[in-house]
Structure 1
Amino acid sequence: MKNLRVYSMFLVFTLVFAASCDNSDDGTDEANNLALPLYESMVIDFSDFTDDSNSGKSTSLAYDNKAPNGNWFFSRIVVGVWNSALFTTLAVPVASFKSAFAHTPEELGDNKWQWTYSVDGFTSEYTARLTGQVTGEEVLWEMYITKVGIGAFEEFLWFSGSSAMDGNSGYWLLNESAERPEALLRIDWERLNDDIGNIRYTWVRELDEQENDDMFKDSYLEYGLQDGDLDAYFNAHAYDSNKQGFSDVRIEWSRETFVGRVRAFDYFEDEVWHCWDGNGDDVQCE
């Protein structure tokens, strides 16, 4: 039994003009509007490794390498922590970004556009105000969120970012909450044709909830595409409280057949690959 302690979690935009990419669903002419990027540029598709049992607040994760599907299960735990963080701690800003696709922006002048709308899917009432401004060779993005009712808060900047004019790269910086509006997560991304070819979530928070140095700072999860049968990968670099240092995990798998493999010296105590088949069961690596 070994423990992996990971803190985590996310999000991104690209920029193209709607003349070349129309995200509107109301049929209006958006030739002079900025178009939102792919939703996948904000949130990685974690569906192959979903673990609904983990909370975004999990700080200690157990792994039993004697389990029949231990190789895949271990990989699911590593990835699942970051996935959970996106849909718990950062659920509101993630949903706010997704909701923007259903709305048409207003041009404010000075090469700036604004989306304003209510965010669906929550019992509380949230209002989002997203702006995008072309400045030289990049677009600057800002998302402001307001909440009314129980736990209300005034408008604050929940995340900001920048994207290249060619729409092929950018980053996002997410703040933790209205109560703690400090930087929590940075997301760097690159686009490959119609897909996100590389995206990295980096934990950037300086202080934890007790105002101590956040030991998980600089932990990251990177997703990317590659050539070969195992055409997708995750690289995880995370602080392990047991060893009081950082541990590395490499996961590779096929998006079509779901066969895969994982390598993690601190948890398997060796440098070899550990594989699973299309059902997630452990198999000998070829």
Structure 2
Amino acid sequence: MNNWRVYGILLVFALVFTASCENSDDDTDLDNNLALPPYESMVIDFGDFADNSNAGKSTALVYDNKEPNGNWVFSRLVVGVWNTALFTSLAVPVASFKSSFAHSPVDLGDNLWQWTYSVDGFTSEYTARLTGEVTGEEVLWNMYITKVGIGAFGEFLWFSGSSNMDGNSGHWILNESPEKPLAMLRIDWERSNDEIGNIRYTWVRELDEQENDDLFKDSYLEYGLQDGPLNAYFDAHAYDENTEVFSDIRIEWSRDTYLGRVRAVDYFQDEEWHCWDANGDDVQCE
């Protein structure tokens, strides 16, 4: 069985932001102001793979001092790498975006709106300035963050993006940090039936911390909805430093019963599906 150290290494590079998956009131057009894209356009719902009983899933998936089984645990590790990333270096810009839903924008004229506010939830003082500019059939978004106090920095463009006027698709580009103001992560999203039907995180950073070519560039994790009993999926595509090639993983599960399956040739050393039941226990695939 391949050690698949890629996930440990990706964990070292964990990069992204606070991942509370609360529903936001993103469809409301406040007093005819410009409506924001959904907050969930930045946050994949990892709830069915969270190891806690408050994730909106069956509590049977919570391990009660027992040795966990391999198939669901491996799948949880795969998505957990990216989920962990959502709690680290990009916590500030994503929290800033989430906070924007509690504020109304100012119409600056020339099809430009602006939100300005302090960001809650941090010991340091951050101020956010979000702009949305209507240009033809899309809206261009820019989020600027300022910090005062220890580690202060001036206004920094931490992410940008665009969305269609109907609010059903778009993308985000998140920059690494004020110290390294280069693109790190791209998020492409689509909404259908009032929920995110497809979202993909793509690692776009060109250089790693040692200023070498980032071997994980073009790695991605995609979440989507599909028809059938297993109505949700993750597709992971990531660089494996052992084999020095990109490896692929497909995870499918039911959002209703939580049973599912995973296929990972490089990890399991076969092309078969490996399944788990609603308790997270390994079972034979039907």
TM bracket (short chain)? 0.7 to 0.9
Contact 1:138 1:164 in 2 (8 A): yes
Say which SS state the counterpart of residue 4 (structure 2) adopts.
strand
Counterparts of 1:1-286 in structure 2, within 5 Å, are 2-6=3-7, 7=10, 21-22=27-28, 30-31=31-32, 33-50=33-50, 68-286=68-286
Contact 2:156 2:178 in 1 (8 A): yes
Contact 1:9 1:83 in 2 (8 A): no
Q: Which amino acid aligns with 2:246?
A: F
Displacement of 1:3? 2.0
Say which SS state the counterpart of residue 224 (structure 1) adopts.
strand
Q: Residues 171-202 of structure 1: CA distance to partner in whole angstroms, max 9, x if unpaired?
A: 10000001000000000011112011100000
Higher mean displacement: 33-42 or 148-157: 33-42
Q: 1:27 — aligned with what?
A: none
Please give the TM-score of this superposition, normalised by the length of structure 2: 0.87
Q: Which amino acid aligns with 2:232?
A: A
Contact 2:198 2:223 in 1 (8 A): yes
Contact 2:16 2:87 in 1 (8 A): no
Contact 2:16 2:88 in 1 (8 A): no
Contact 1:133 1:140 in 2 (8 A): yes
Displacement of 1:217? 0.1
Say which SS state the counterpart of residue 258 (structure 1) adopts.
coil
Please give the TM-score of this superposition, normalised by the length of structure 1: 0.87
The percentage of counterpart residues that share the same residue type is: 77
Displacement of 1:23? 6.2
Q: Residues 57-97 of structure 1: CA distance to partner in whole angstroms, max 9, x if unpaired?
A: xxxxxxxxxx7510001001110111111111211111001
Displacement of 1:21? 3.2
Contact 1:114 1:132 in 2 (8 A): yes
With over 3 angstroms needed to count, the CA separation of the structure-2 counterparts of 1:9 and 1:260, relative to structure 1, is: farther
Take 2:96 and 2:46, find their aligned partners in 1: how far apart are those partners?
19
Take 1:263 and 1:23, find their aligned partners in 2: how far apart are those partners?
43
Q: Which amino acid aligns with 2:269?
A: E
Q: Which amino acid aligns with 2:79?
A: V
With over 3 angstroms needed to count, the CA separation of the structure-2 counterparts of 1:10 and 1:41, relative to structure 1, is: farther
Take 1:138 and 1:4, find their aligned partners in 2: how far apart are those partners?
41
With over 3 angstroms needed to count, the CA separation of the structure-2 counterparts of 1:161 and 1:10, relative to structure 1, is: farther
Contact 1:40 1:196 in 2 (8 A): yes
Take 2:119 and 2:222, find their aligned partners in 1: how far apart are those partners?
29
Q: Which amino acid aligns with 1:187?
A: I
Unaligned runs of 5+ in 2: 18-24, 53-66
Q: Which amino acid aligns with 1:3?
A: W
Unaligned runs of 5+ in 1: 12-17, 25-29, 53-66
With over 3 angstroms needed to count, the CA separation of the structure-2 counterparts of 1:73 and 1:23, relative to structure 1, is: farther
Say which SS state the counterpart of residue 34 (structure 1) adopts.
coil
Say which SS state the counterpart of residue 48 (structure 2) adopts.
helix
With over 3 angstroms needed to count, the CA separation of the structure-2 counterparts of 1:200 and 1:93, relative to structure 1, is: same
Contact 2:16 2:89 in 1 (8 A): no
Q: Which amino acid aligns with 2:264?
A: A
